[in-house]
Amino acid sequence: MSVEVAVPKGYTRVFSKPRALSDAGFTYCPGCHHGIITRLVAEAIDELGILERTVGIAPVGCAVFLDRFFNCDFVQAAHGRACAVATGIKRARPDLVVFTYQGDGDLAAIGTAETVHAANRGENITVIFVNNGIYGMTGGEMAPTTLPGQRTTTTPAGREPRLHGYPLKISEMLAQLDGPAYITRQAVFDHPHIVKAKRAILKAFRNQLDGKGFSLVEILSTCPTNWRMSPAEAGRWVAEEVTEVFPLGDLKDVG
Ligand SMILES: Cc1ncc(C[n+]2csc(CCOP(=O)(O)OP(=O)(O)O)c2C)c(N)n1
Ligand code: SF4
């Protein structure tokens, strides 16, 4: 649990850690957008007052230790199976608020089937999809979302679509289905986008509370370590290059 540090006399607290976050430090690399996204999810849980009845599903990938970062219950799913695990928990206990937090290797590669079918069934869960275009945890291999021409450890000459396929646009695919209530793509490379991403996360949780069904927030993220960029360069790469292939905005919103 978090320990609230007393504010010395004469000072005012202007910023603090969300109640939903524990005192365990993040294990993300410095400058990685995972840290911003994890915090936004925690802020949303605080603001909705749902901490005591929220269950998160942790992925395999750099967010694998999510259960340590949060003060709510967590289940660790096998690689890619988060939406299936979330489905089981939500159906057994509809009173709980259930969310998954998954990278693109987890959700858009090994977990594609689970994601598509949970969305198609309109499961009343919230999915946070962190798309950094790479397998971060395992050393920077190509993901389905890697950009054409992007160098990774398994595409050292750059991704060649005719050989390796084209970037998989999960959000566009899911938006065609009848099941989902809300599909949106956001980013966190600057403050205005962080504010919008937070709004989208809140909406995705509110949809679940209102029983509207499957809501997925894709968030374009960075991997400065494996992209071999500084955090600032990585943010610019998302703003200038990644958004060309993965445009930001809502893809489906039943209202
Ligand atoms: C069944 C199985 N296959 C492969 C792995 C190895 N593995 C661990 S993390 C990972 C990819 C993670 O990439 P991503 O989901 O994009 O998350 P990131 O680390 O970039 O946040 C893989 C392939 C595994 N743990 N389990
Ligand atoms: S390896 Fe990449 S995605 Fe993983 S924490 Fe480090 S910078 Fe972030």
Domain boundaries, the chain: 33-253
Minimum CA distance residue for ligand 1 atom 13? 135
Q: How many CB atoms lie within 10 A of CB 252?
A: 21
Count of beta carbons in the 10 Å neighbourhood of residue 121: 15
**pLDDT recorded at residue 3:** 61
Q: What is the pLDDT of residue 6?
A: 85
pLDDT at 2: 55
Query: Using an 8 Å Cβ cutoff, are 213 and 233 in contact?
Result: no
Closest-lying ligand to the alpha carbon of 33?
2
234 touches ligand 2 (CB under 6 Å): no
pLDDT at position 1: 53
pLDDT tens-digit map of 162-179: 999 999 999 999 999 999
CA 245 to chain centre: 18
Distance of CA 93 to CAs 17, 23, 89, 141, Å?
Answer: 29, 28, 6, 37
What is residue 134's DSSP assignment?
E
Which residue has tokens 């069904």? 213
Q: Which atom of ligand 2 is nearest to the CA of 33?
A: 8
> Can you read off the two tokens belonging to residue 63?
């967010």
- The CATH class, in words, for 33-253 is alpha beta
Interatomic CA distance for residues 71 and 54, integer angstroms: 10
Tens of pLDDT along the chain (255 residues) come to 556 678 999 999 998 999 999 999 999 999 999 999 999 999 999 999 999 999 999 999 999 999 999 999 999 999 999 999 999 999 999 999 999 999 999 999 999 999 999 999 999 999 999 999 999 999 999 999 999 999 999 999 999 999 999 999 999 999 999 999 999 999 999 999 999 999 999 999 999 999 999 999 999 999 999 999 999 999 999 999 999 999 999 999 998
The token pair at 211 is 């029983």
Number of alpha helices (DSSP H) and beta strands (DSSP E) in the chain: 11, 9
Give the residue, by CA position, lying nearest to ligand 1 atom 4: 79
Residues within 6 Å of ligand 1 by CB: 60-63, 79, 103-106, 130, 132, 134-138, 143, 223
Task: Specify whether the CB–CB gap between 45 and 18 falls below 8 A.
Answer: yes
d(CA 15, ligand 1 centre) in Å = 33
CA of 121 to the centre of ligand 1 (A): 25
Residue 9 to residues 5, 6, 12, 13, Cα–Cα distance (Å) = 12, 9, 8, 11
pLDDT in tens, 211-232: 999 999 999 999 999 999 999 9
Going by alpha carbons, the residue nearest to atom 1 of ligand 2 is 136
Pocket test for ligand 1, best of 28, 66, 106 (most atoms within 8 A of CB): 106
H/E element, 163 = helix 161-164
CB 36 within 8 A of CB 194: yes
Q: Is the separation of the CB atoms in 214 and 129 below 8 Å?
A: no
